[in-house]
A and B are shown apart, each in its own frame.
Chain A
Amino acid sequence: MANDVARTARGEARLDERSIALRRLVVRTLDGGKRGHVGSSLSPLEIMRVLYDDVLRFRADDPAWEGRDRCILSKGHGCIAQYVMLAEKGFFPHAVLDTFCRRDSILGGHPEAGKVPGVEASTGALGHGLPIGVGRAMALRIKRSDARVFVVTGDGEINEGSVWEAAMSASKHRLSNLTVMVDYNKIQSAGTTKEILDLEPLVDKWRAFGFGVAEVDGHDVAALREVLGRLPLESDKPSAIICHTVKGKGIGFAENDPSWHHKSTIDAKLIDELYQALGAA
């Protein structure tokens, strides 16, 4: 276990071309809004990529298709990562990314169900996704559907007690169709999770709450595919995947820097620097 943690805890996987291309779309979106949660959208990008590329069942032209898997981005402030993947999958044209946060856009600074095709729940207020996910997973089971529920949470987000209320309920109801993915970048808004509210031992916590648990490098696409390919991690239990990530991953000067959690003004010069940090297209 200790060796596994050492291997995965730094989120040090190299980014491939697709991950770099997706980051360019993140920067394009930031440029559209001239603001946004930068670091918080980059750490979950491979999680969202693998979900949409390899795991989720969906129909982009019929977002409410009953047979779809339900993917709830509970850390709504990381929404650019989801917007980019929804555009990639054809839920809406890439040009919509350029309207981010503008008055008449469908893409706000937090995702809204009913406005953005493919968004299952309006999130942004933290600690809401898992309780909703529990309700949906229960409903799907009653409906005898084989669709699954995925909830992506932040690490600061799981300071919220509602997450742990829902975790207890998920294991009580043996929701093996529910998976939580924690974007564990170890930096919340005001500082490191270690100094603000230490989550460790995080794996033990989820296990103690009745989940099957795995740890991965949250930027390692192959590792994410592998772990998501063997759900549920334990039979009759909900699954929790602790994804070790890096806040701001891929933008050297923003990595692991809490000041890049959110930027309320992003000018053209900064956009250039962000593109340059990602390397020439």
Chain B
Amino acid sequence: MRVACGNKVFELAQRDPRVAYIGSDLDPPIVKRMKAEMPGRAWMEGVSEQHVVGMAAGLAMEGFIPYVHTIATFITRRCYEQVAVDLCMHNLPVRLIGNGGGLVYAPLGPTHLAIEDIAIMRALPNMTIVAVCDAEEMKRFMDQTPDWPGPIYIRLAKGYTDPVISRPELGFTIGKAIVMREAAGRDRVLLVSTGVGTTRALAAATDLAAEGIECTVMHMHTVKPLDVEALLHHAATARLVVTVEEHTVVGGLGSAVLEALVEHLPGAMPPVKRLGIPDVFAHKYGSQDQLMEIYGLQPPAIAQTVRDGLQRRRAA
């Protein structure tokens, strides 16, 4: 996904003179390539995220579309005020590429885990937040980025090993959810997921279908602006809604879904269960998959959450 994203920036820069790239002491290959083929449009800046975001704002004020790339925690937390004031307040077309969103940097410990990035970016007016599910979807998404107004936070999942689950025939539009699997029958459950959470949600839905539990899987790649219309369409008739995100349960996709349902389905809300990282800093290392297992974000735990939710519904 990371490679696909970098390659796409290069490709976009080739056909659009407004596109520029700024790294913050990370990922030199694309900078080298761009420096060689498009001199003056790519820079490797130092470990200076506050400056880098301000510099990107300055470039955008002059008509450029800078893609800024560094580790997700540092491009969100370290320079939050620059993101808020320089990018969001001025509503500038800067694209923040956060490498290793979620639990990707598991072995490096909690300083490197971006588990609240979606929450804090979501609180900023004008910000768009996109977490695609695989490298192929990344390509379709990136093609739309040059002409999207305002800043975008692009959350990258793990670099090389994500399986491809997206399907070109389902298309991709920023801000429009993709129904990856549509349930048939009566016991309809709605799984709403983002990023590589969708991979897990889809696998859980397959397992549940074998047991006769039908789930619709809605891939909410754009967490902001949330596709409320699609959400309501499917949630209104669901017996259970489960949100799945590789992110704290505080303020992310689950919160956004709940806010929309509370506002738009008063008195008719289906039961909702949010799956995510609890309100803690991770206390284990290992791998992204292992931490996702610990926090109940792998397919068996998602499936069990659905079974339990339906059980409670029947009991009630």
Determine how close the nearest CB of chain A comes to the CB of B279; give it in whole angstroms.
28
Interface centre among B41, B56, B59, B63 (most CB of A within 10 A): B59
Whether A132 and B63, one on each chain, are in contact in the complex, defined by CB atoms closer than 8 angstroms, is no
Given contacts A131-B54, A142-B40, contact A121 B48 (CB under 8 A): no
**What chain A residues lie within 8 Å of B81 (beta carbons)?**
125, 128
Determine how close the nearest CB of chain A comes to the CB of B80; give it in whole angstroms.
11
Given contacts A128-B85, A132-B61, A135-B56, contact A142 B41 (CB under 8 A): yes
Determine how close the nearest CB of chain A comes to the CB of B48; give it in whole angstroms.
4
CB-based nearest B residue for A127: B50
**What chain A residues lie within 8 Å of B61 (beta carbons)?**
120-121, 132, 135-136, 139
Number of B positions contacting A (CB below 8 A)? 28
Whether A139 and B50, one on each chain, are in contact in the complex, defined by CB atoms closer than 8 angstroms, is no
Whether B64 and A131, one on each chain, are in contact in the complex, defined by CB atoms closer than 8 angstroms, is no
The contact of B57 among A131, A168, A173, by CB within 8 Å, is A131
A169 within 8 A of partner (CB): yes
Bound together, the chains give a CA A138 to CA B52 distance in angstroms of 12
CB-based nearest A residue for B39: A142
B246 within 8 A of partner (CB): no
Whether B59 and A139, one on each chain, are in contact in the complex, defined by CB atoms closer than 8 angstroms, is yes
Binding site secondary structure of chain B: helix
Q: Which of A99-107, A159-167, A265-273 contacts B (4 or more CB under 8 A)?
A: A159-167
The contact of A131 among B40, B60, B82, by CB within 8 Å, is B82
Bound together, the chains give a CA A252 to CA B62 distance in angstroms of 42
Whether A166 and B51, one on each chain, are in contact in the complex, defined by CB atoms closer than 8 angstroms, is yes
Chain A positions 107-135 with a Cβ under 8 Å from a chain B Cβ: 113-114, 120-122, 125, 127-128, 130-135
Given contacts A131-B82, A133-B58, A139-B64, contact A162 B90 (CB under 8 A): no
The contact of A166 among B43, B54, B63, by CB within 8 Å, is B54
**What chain A residues lie within 8 Å of B56 (beta carbons)?**
135
Bound together, the chains give a CA A256 to CA B90 distance in angstroms of 35
B260 within 8 A of partner (CB): no
Which 4 A-B residue pairings sit nearest by Cβ, starting from the closest? A135-B58, A131-B54, A139-B62, A165-B51
